[in-house]
Structure 1
Amino acid sequence: MGATGAQDHAHDHAHNRGGHVHSRGGGAGHDHAGHSHGVAANADRRWLAIALGLIGTFMAVEVAVGILAHSLALISDAAHMLTDAVSIVLALIAMRLAARPARGGFTYGLKRAEILSAQANGLTLLLLALWLAYEAVRRLIDPPEVAGGVVLVTALAGIAVNVAAAWCISKANRSSLAVEGAYQHILNDLFAFIGTAVSGLVVMTTGFVQADAIATLVVVVLMVKAGYALVRDSGRIFLEAAPAHVDPDAVGDRLVAHGLVTEVHDLHIWTITSGEAALSAHVLVEPEGDCHAVRRDLEKLLSAEYGITHTTLQVDHAQEALLSVGRGEAGDGHCAAPHGPVHREGPHVH
């Protein structure tokens, strides 16, 4: 292949890797400027901090009122608000950790801290939903005395606080699963206060004390829905699944459709953190093809059609012997331990 060709292939093999750029002579590397969100991150933290202040202040007031009014319902709402506050604190911590640069053994940095936060928020929503469902059923069977007037007034104040907190968090970047987790906590608390206000009004006007438990069961359904979505989405990222909107087989077929590409295998697509997908693949091109031109074409295609800009493409010339191989397994002569489907020009092997 020659010295120049060998150097070019070495560049192809290592092109576009994230993190630190190591080079001789201090040459500039790709800094992935699109991954830097310093100003936006500061704004997000500011909005989350405002929401935390609102939630924390009202929670303290609600606990005091609940104790004075002997209202378990209000104290339970305050406990729910405590989980809201914890979810915001987790999101703030995760954002701080994710902003740290990659170093040492953490080659992606701590970007997945926000996914841990999202999973914790989802799990707490599900666990809280189980507890509230148990309490609601128990109160349907043996309803306690409820001070409807106190419940109604406090719930209306809670609605106002949660609307303000939800608005603050909606101003932050909700594509972050950590922020979305905090938002879902606040939103479910808002629904809970609306249900509490309605139940308080019903108790005041009709004396039907079971209204409180019925309203709680409606909120439980919403909490399970939101909690399941957070656990599912964060779980996909931890299991290195492809983004939900990307079909790896379709991507492989699209790449091999390039005129000079003969085969694509060892194709992997995963999500580093919210909204940051990555791809790696081994690409074989015709012997007379220009590996660099093909790589650039494929990178442009992945960016334009799939929004994937963090790519590592190993591009090699297909050997004449390999071109004669039929529909065999991937890696005949060029991969020690291949895995995943093989995409070839013409009939594809999946």
Structure 2
Amino acid sequence: MVAEVFGGIISGSLALLADAGHMLTDFASLVLAWLAFRLARRPADWKRTYGFDRFSVLAAFVNGLSLFVIAAWICFEAYERLQKPVQVLGGLMLWVAVGGLAVNIVAFWVLTRGENDNLNVRAAALHVAGDLLGSVAALVASLVIIFTGWMPIDPILSAAVALIILRSAWHVVRQSGHILLEAAPDGFDRRKVAKTIEAEVPGVTRVHHVHAWSITQERPMATLEAEVSAEADIVQVKQAIKKVLQDTFGMEHTTVEISQRPAATALQID
């Protein structure tokens, strides 16, 4: 990162400066991701009954927003460079870009070995992927400058990488924001859930008050209320509903409330 800062300043390359700035924010983002991962492993307490898992989603959300800021800055600087071209030292830029690329490849490999479904890990890996693309852009730009002398390639490739980062950042922000707003997990439609339970579980006459949310992407939860006939066995019905929710909709943690109307009593008149 330090080498890219000095290399970018000396060579005049926006691609190197952008990559260095991105790596600086990456360092902070990776520290935040690591702290979130450690904190999420702490057990629940009497104040935080769901534990600390949601902190990792919050970290992913913050990391995603920081990528928006980085991409906006790179695009602005690229526009300025296109208006007022700057002389770039292609040879120095090439060697610094090669070193940055090697570091980013190792970091990306480490982050993508484990929990790919974890939003926090994905956000951290996305930061490093942005760095990796930045290093590739700097490498390609340096080669073009060395062999052709065409300076605009530096800001053009920098802006292209920023747009790629922006697209990926939007997915992380959207998914983490979806969880933070306690929206229903992907693929969970409460209308379909109610109809499925009413059709497949004997004794259920009506399903309502269906709610679903996620603590993290890996921990979806649901609650619902079911009305059953007077003859139905409440315990068996509850077990059957939970099985449908797990097998059909992937809900392992569910709370089911049963309401049962008493059987009608016949009135005999002498």
Which TM class, normalised by the smaller chain length?
A: over 0.9
Taking the aligned partners of 1:144 and 1:73, their CA distance within structure 2 comes to: 12
What code does the residue aligned with 2:168 have?
A
Give the 3-state SS of the residue equivalent to 2:215 in structure 1. Answer: strand
Taking the aligned partners of 2:8 and 2:169, their CA distance within structure 1 comes to: 27
What code does the residue aligned with 1:199 have?
A
The 5 Å alignment of 1:82-231 reads 82-231=24-173
- Judge conservation of contact 1:284–1:316 (CA < 8 Å) in 2: yes
Number of residue pairs aligned between Structure 1 and Structure 2? 263
Aligned CA RMSD, in angstroms, stands at: 1.6
Taking the aligned partners of 1:249 and 1:110, their CA distance within structure 2 comes to: 31
Compute the displacement of 1:232 (Å).
0.5
Aligned residue number for residue 318 of structure 1: 261
Summarize the Cα distance change of 1:292–1:119 in structure 2 as closer, same or farther, 3 Å threshold.
same
Compute the displacement of 1:300 (Å).
1.3
Aligned residue number for residue 50 of structure 1: none
The alignment's TM-score, normalised by the length of structure 1, stands at 0.72
Does 1:246 pair with 2:188? yes
Compute the displacement of 1:116 (Å).
0.8
Structure 2 runs not aligned, ≥5 long:
265-270
Q: Cα deviation per residue 1:170-190 (whole Å; 9 max; x = unaligned)? A: 012021111000011111111
Give the 3-state SS of the residue equivalent to 1:273 in structure 2. Answer: coil
Give the 3-state SS of the residue equivalent to 1:104 in structure 2. Answer: coil
The alignment's TM-score, normalised by the length of structure 2, stands at 0.92
The 5 Å alignment of 1:231-270 reads 231-257=173-199, 258-270=201-213
Structure 1 runs not aligned, ≥5 long:
1-58, 322-350
Q: Cα deviation per residue 1:178-218 (whole Å; 9 max; x = unaligned)? A: 10000111111111111111111111111110001110121
Aligned residue number for residue 287 of structure 1: 230
Q: Cα deviation per residue 1:271-320 (whole Å; 9 max; x = unaligned)? A: 11121100001111111101110111111111112211111111121356
Which one of 272, 276, 296 corresponds to residue 219 of structure 2? Answer: 276
Compute the displacement of 1:233 (Å).
0.4
Compute the displacement of 1:62 (Å).
2.7
Summarize the Cα distance change of 1:194–1:209 in structure 2 as closer, same or farther, 3 Å threshold.
same
Taking the aligned partners of 2:40 and 2:261, their CA distance within structure 1 comes to: 40
Taking the aligned partners of 1:184 and 1:254, their CA distance within structure 2 comes to: 38
Taking the aligned partners of 1:218 and 1:300, their CA distance within structure 2 comes to: 49
